[in-house]
Structure 1
């Protein structure tokens, strides 16, 4: 595989990146309540720098302590008092050979009063999304403009190489840019003007690279389109913007972090429209998982931005260069999304958020692992990395365990890539795998789930009610709908990421599944009732396997 297009250096404003791979800004909630990066947060970003990316863009970082914050432990650049803590971050990233930009944000109406210290959310127009919204006055506009400029100056002092203005995903700058959310009657009905004035103010005060993230589509008829974004890009290029970073989405369920129901290279066609209109470097994010995906994206974009894939495997680029197995993001959107009140995690990477753990303790001797599902595969991987001689027993003729029961065709395709990764990685680590082999022993590591997935009802020509949010019944609905009339209650989708839920509903409806608000008086031949708050998941199984392998001691 020719990776040369990913490894070329590039100049962005005054900054030279060593390669064309950037880490996407993703909220982690690993910062502190005050808004500075904790040691855990620094270690999390440093791990991605160790993996070789040319650029790290921080998660969105709020610009004032009044009404700009969107998450409880979000980074904040609102006070000089935080500067020393940010210096710790930039110093380490630079020592590891990467550049780092800070993404500055005011979230506007996309927050709640309890998150912004009891204040009322503000926006260009009083269109509520969660809490009641106050329309911004001219004084508010001047205040927020100065907040961005002052935050940029703090970022410069803290050692950041550049600034990214967050103008995507329905936050304040996007609210000004989008015709769906900007209904003003004054000069700021032209929302680009607000961004131009912020950009001009920053450039007048400091010499620093400044880019902007914009949603190339907002997935509705009232919002931004690629053609509109192309025109915005032309204006901002004239105003001095150094790069444009394309993402997608506003307030609806569809956004940049598309689950496995949506194509990879999600926004390539839309990006072409903007590429033809502007000459500044173009960054592009959107469901790029493999090196082949990234190489394809480079046909349009100057810099490929990886998000969830760098959560799944921070060493993606180094492994691609060495042709080593890469742990894939399965685009499940379960542990990495919706982190307003929780820290980021990854279902396939149990070390995410725990980068400060001490190195794996070395071991020696022989170990038997029983169970070829993801728990056993992860335990075997960690034990082999520690230096043990590992034999894995699986009673079936294939690895994968309960993965092999999936019926959802999209899930099957994406999730089985994780099993393929484990097969390659265990082979690389010289783990002996014995299939069609049962094993019982007192000193084995038993990597067997406590919970057995319910079997799919064997019915045809019946009326079936699914009233369960267990993931397995989402799968079974696809198969059951082939031969039965299937209904699902609303609470069957409890706990799902909203983008995944939206697209799952779409796919289920296309195979004939019907949705009910709740169980009604209709007669059903088969009823399934099982709604849980804490259900079994891939992430929990892999976490358990990781800790089984990490804590095992030979005596």
Structure 2
């Protein structure tokens, strides 16, 4: 595969990137409560720089300590006192050969009072989303403009190569842009004016490269469209913007981090509309998983922005260059989303957030692993990396364990890529795999889950109630609905990422499943009741396999 289009340097503003791959800004909550990067946060971003990306864009970073914050451990660029701590981050990324931009944000109405120190959220118009919202006065507008400028000056002083203004996903700049959220009657009804004024002041006072992230669609008839975004981009280009970074979404369930119910490389057609309108570099994000998909994006955009895939495998680019197996993001959205009150994790990458762990300790000798599900596959991978001679035993005729019970067609398509990765990686590591072999031994590693997921009921022509948030029953509903009348309670979706829930509901509805609050006296031939707070997941199985492999034969 010719990856040259991904490896060409590019000049963005006054910054030269070593290649066309950028890490997307993604909230991690690995920062400190004060808003500076912790050692864990620096190690997390550094691992992606080690993987070869040309540009790291930090997660959204709030510009004041009054009303700008959206998450409890979000990065903040609100005080000179934090500058030395940010210097530690920029020095590390530069030493690894990458550039780093800080994404600056005021979240506007998209926050809660308890997150912004008891203050009332502000917005261009008083349209609530969570808590009550106050319409911004002219004084508020001037104050926030100054906050962005001062944060930019601090960013340059701290060694950042550029600024990205967060004008996407329904945050404050986007609230000014979007006709759905800007109902002002004054001069700022023209919402681009607010961003133009911020941009011009940053350019004048901070003298630093500046780009902006914009949602190319808000999935809303009242919101932004690609054509509107093209016009906004043209105006910002005239005002001095150095690049446009396209994402998607506002306040609803649909956004850039689409789960497996939505196509990959989601926004190419929308991006073409903007590409034709501007001359500055265009960045594009949106469910880009494979090198082949990245090359498709390069036909439209100048820089390919990888998000969740770099959480799943920080060495994506280096592995692509060397032709090594790449651990795929399965777009499950379960551990990497909704991180207002928790740290980011990844179901397929147990090391995410733990980059400060010491290197794997070497081992030697032979070891047998029993179980060809993801727990056993991960244990075998780690043991082989440590230097053990590993044999993996699986009683079925193929690897996958409980993956083999999947019925959801979208899930099967995406999750099977993970099994293919393990097959390639274990082959590369010389792990011997023995299928159709039931192994019983006293000195082997038994990598079999404690919990066995329930089997699908074999029924036809019946009325079925599913009152369970166990993932298996979401899965089985697709198959059961082919031959039965299936109802599912609202609480069956408890615990799902909201985007995944929204698209799962749509898919189940198309399959014929009906949703109800309660059974309300309805008669069912079969009722399934099982609501849990803590259920088995792919992530937990892989984590357990990782720690089994990491700690095997260590002295404690």
| Fold similarity call, TM over 0.5 | yes
TM-score (norm 2): 0.99
CA shift, 1:519, in A, is 2.5
In the alignment, structure 1 residue 96 sits paired with structure 2 residue 96: yes
Conservation of the 8 A alpha-carbon contact between 2:149 and 2:206: no
Q: Which residue of 2 aligns with 1:14?
A: 14
Counterpart secondary structure, 1:202: helix
Q: Which residue of 1 aligns with 2:410?
A: 410
Q: Which residue of 1 aligns with 2:396?
A: 396
Q: Which residue of 2 aligns with 1:113?
A: 113
In structure 1, what is the Cα distance between the partners aligned to 2:280 and 2:533? 48
Q: Which residue of 2 aligns with 1:69?
A: 69
Q: Which residue of 2 aligns with 1:135?
A: 135
Q: Which residue of 1 aligns with 2:460?
A: 460
Counterpart secondary structure, 1:501: helix
Q: Which residue of 1 aligns with 2:200?
A: 200
In structure 2, what is the Cα distance between the partners aligned to 1:554 and 1:242? 52
Q: Which residue of 1 aligns with 2:271?
A: 271
Q: Unpaired runs of 5+ in structure 1?
A: none
Counterpart secondary structure, 1:245: strand
Counterpart secondary structure, 1:92: helix
In the alignment, structure 1 residue 341 sits paired with structure 2 residue 374: no
Q: Which residue of 2 aligns with 1:258?
A: 258
In structure 1, what is the Cα distance between the partners aligned to 2:267 and 2:526? 42
Q: Which runs of 4+ in 1 moved over 6 A?
A: none
Conservation of the 8 A alpha-carbon contact between 2:462 and 2:525: yes
Counterpart secondary structure, 2:5: helix
Q: How does 1:166-185 map to 2 (within 5 A)?
A: 166-185=166-185
Conservation of the 8 A alpha-carbon contact between 1:365 and 1:554: no
CA shift, 1:517, in A, is 1.1
CA shift, 1:520, in A, is 1.7
CA shift, 1:319, in A, is 0.2
Q: Which residue of 2 aligns with 1:419?
A: 419
In structure 1, what is the Cα distance between the partners aligned to 2:302 and 2:372? 41
Q: Unpaired runs of 5+ in structure 2?
A: none
Conservation of the 8 A alpha-carbon contact between 1:364 and 1:554: no
Q: Which residue of 2 aligns with 1:442?
A: 442
CA shift, 1:518, in A, is 1.9
Deviations, residues 345-376 of structure 1 (Å, cap 9, x unaligned): 00000000000000000000000000000000
Root-mean-square deviation (CA, aligned residues, Å) is 0.6
Counterpart secondary structure, 1:423: helix
Counterpart secondary structure, 2:173: helix
Q: Which residue of 1 aligns with 2:499?
A: 499
CA shift, 1:206, in A, is 2.0
CA shift, 1:554, in A, is 6.9
Q: Which residue of 2 aligns with 1:24?
A: 24
Q: Which residue of 2 aligns with 1:483?
A: 483
In structure 2, what is the Cα distance between the partners aligned to 1:519 and 1:429? 52
Counterpart secondary structure, 1:338: coil
Counterpart secondary structure, 1:94: helix
In structure 1, what is the Cα distance between the partners aligned to 2:519 and 2:460? 21
In structure 1, what is the Cα distance between the partners aligned to 2:43 and 2:383? 24
In the alignment, structure 1 residue 361 sits paired with structure 2 residue 368: no
CA shift, 1:106, in A, is 0.2
Q: Which residue of 1 aligns with 2:375?
A: 375
In structure 2, what is the Cα distance between the partners aligned to 1:192 and 1:237? 12
Counterpart secondary structure, 1:61: strand
In structure 2, what is the Cα distance between the partners aligned to 1:194 and 1:422? 49
CA shift, 1:489, in A, is 0.2
